[in-house]
Amino acid sequence: MIELNKQQKEAAEFMFGVSCVIATVGSGKTTTMTYRIGNLVRNGIPPESILGLTFTRNAAKAMREKLKLVLNDDASKVTLSTIHSFCHRLLKREDIRFDILYGNKQVWLIRKVISKLRIKDILTPVALREISLAKSRLITPDKFLELHKDSDFMVSLAEIYKGYEQEKRKGLLLDFDDLLMESHDILTRSEDARIRYQQTYPHILVDEFQDTNPAQVSLIKLLAGDPDQSNSLWICGDDWQSIYSFIGASVENILHFANDHEGSTQFILDLNYRSTNQILQACQNLISHNDRKIDKTLNTINPDGDTVIVFSATTEEKEAAKVVTEIKDLVHRHDYKYRDIAILYRANSQSRAIEEELSKNEIPFWIENSSNFYERYEVAGLLNYLWLIHDANSDRGDTALKKVINTPNRYIGGRFIGDLEAYAKSNGLNLYEALKFMPVDVPYLRKNIRQFTDFIDQLIIDKWDWEPVDLIYLIRTELDYDKYIADESAELYDDSSNIIDQLQIAAGRFSELHKFLEFTETVRNSSGGDKEGVSLMTIHKSKGLEFPAVFVIGMIEGILPNIKGEIEEERRVSFVALSRAMKLLYLSYSHIHMGRPAQKSSFLDEILKKKEVVTE
């Protein structure tokens, strides 16, 4: 059993009413929440009457494992769930018939609605994002139209939203946002249902409250009712780590919680168990520049530790080389393991140079829940075009053809591909040859195939005179490839054009196509499967994790802070990055980014009062 500190103990022993636990980074909030559940049960509260809400399945799973150590068999009787999973079960209990709509099926349905309405200027992921944001605020299609009737663009979005809802109703479908909206609607309309759930779960705990959106907060209020001396609402979070406004989360929910719940009790957990004092001072220096925050001080009993290091380089490639040099030194001279080290970046497009440098130095690396740079959807499509151009008469050419023949959409289906493979086999041809010779009766299909083969034939001729970077540029421009990628994605890839630009930068170092393709294969095969390797991830994916040594790369204006981000949230994003580090923290930037002059992040001057700067 872990012994709680004084602050944790007070928060864990809170029994009835409303409380807000402001838990600074690394302060043991999950442990405190777990012990609070244990304390309720030890004081006679039935475990079945406790509801713990988290924001990820992994968080719920981790809390369940900790709870087993505190409650043994009673742990399984406590309801621990993500908010969406809880709402899913609520709707099933209320006998609501539905299937979940997600992923490609959701994209297809939105695209169908846009096509039916003949709307040309709104991309599928834009519509998905705006509809999701509206639902996170409990805004219906009619309300959306009322709010935005003066904007033609938003009126078109309202039409898409309305059409999307109509199509879902026909198929008895709900998307993930609907799980909350429908549950909220039931609890709002039915007093019986509301009272029933309040009586079922008189004790509610909510983790990561800073990540809630308005719909979730309203739902929690309906579930909690008015906690008094027989029930409780206990929320936990950290306003300094609120970084999800792009999916509807609002930091105001935790900032205003005390005012919204008069008579509530606030606890502050400010003792950090993770990081050295030097790292925490850098974090404190940075976040102190935010105006909208709950004031607190990061304390620790850990040693002072090493100075936070800031270094710069001329280009991204040289910045990556310096990072790798430091990693090799940590491993070979200071007994660090590769798994102890993480490299964090603001955007996926920033991983290319560091992946290449790690691969060149035969250093294993791991990209959790993501593809490496050369496997990313937007990059792989272009590389398959290049493989087809390089050798259309090989097995690799056949594979590439099947991947690009409908990229962008040429309305060529799986049945046609099957017929093409059969024709090629019976006539002793490769697929590209078969595509040019196989009779096609459907006029539009024959036209599309002819345009495709003419385009590829021209590129096959041009490859002898043009370099790989020129071929990529031609594919992007002639096929309007960037727009296709943006519209095809289930998510809105603001970063996709930058990712493709990075591919062109990499290709620019090669004069021969085959050498560039061999290089991309080498890098692609170097990552993805070795969890003992260096961890690479975006800052958002790093939230909740910790590493003995952390490198935050690409700290330049326009990237961190991001040019599209709100400055205080960007500062919180940076805070999350810095606070992943336990013992060593390195911050770096380049003077040239993607071939253009770059300026170091203004956050660097805020972070360090005394800077140790290592330059070339």
> Is 32 among the annotated ligand-binding positions?
no
> Is 23 among the annotated ligand-binding positions?
yes
Q: For tokens 């290709």, name the residue.
A: 507
Label each residue of 231-256 as H, E or C: CEEEEEECHHHCCCHHHCCCCHHHHC
Would you call 352 helix, strand, or coil by DSSP?
A: helix
CB of 544 closer than 8 Å to CB of 344: no
Other beta carbons less than 10 A from residue 1's beta carbon: 7
Rounded to whole angstroms, what are the CA distances from 53 to 70, 83, 129, 348? 18, 6, 24, 30
Q: Going by C-beta distance under 8 Å and a sequence separation of 6 or more, which residues neighbour residue 192? A: none
> Is 25 among the annotated ligand-binding positions?
yes
CB of 59 closer than 8 Å to CB of 89: no
> Is 27 among the annotated ligand-binding positions?
yes
| Contacts of 423-429 spanning 24+ positions with Cβ under 8 A | none
In 162-193, which positions are buried (b, 16+ CB within 10 angstroms) versus exposed (e)?
A: bbbbebbeeeebbbebbbbbbbbebbeeeeeb
Q: Which two tokens stand for residue 80?
A: 């621990």
What does DSSP assign to residue 533?
S
Q: Which two tokens stand for residue 292?
A: 């909208």
> Is 508 among the annotated ligand-binding positions?
no
Rounded to whole angstroms, what are the CA distances from 372 to 12, 53, 538? 42, 33, 12
> Is 29 among the annotated ligand-binding positions?
yes
> Is 310 among the annotated ligand-binding positions?
no
Q: For tokens 């090989």, name the residue.
A: 394
CB of 184 closer than 8 Å to CB of 138: yes
Phi/psi for 474 (5° steps) reads -65, -45
- Fill in the amino acid letter for 377: Y
> Is 30 among the annotated ligand-binding positions?
yes
Q: Going by C-beta distance under 8 Å and a sequence separation of 6 or more, which residues neighbour residue 439? A: none
Q: For tokens 């009619």, name the residue.
A: 142
Q: Alpha-carbon distance 222 to 184, whole Å?
A: 8
Binding-site annotation: residue ranges: 23-30
Binding-site annotation: residue ranges for ATP: 23-30
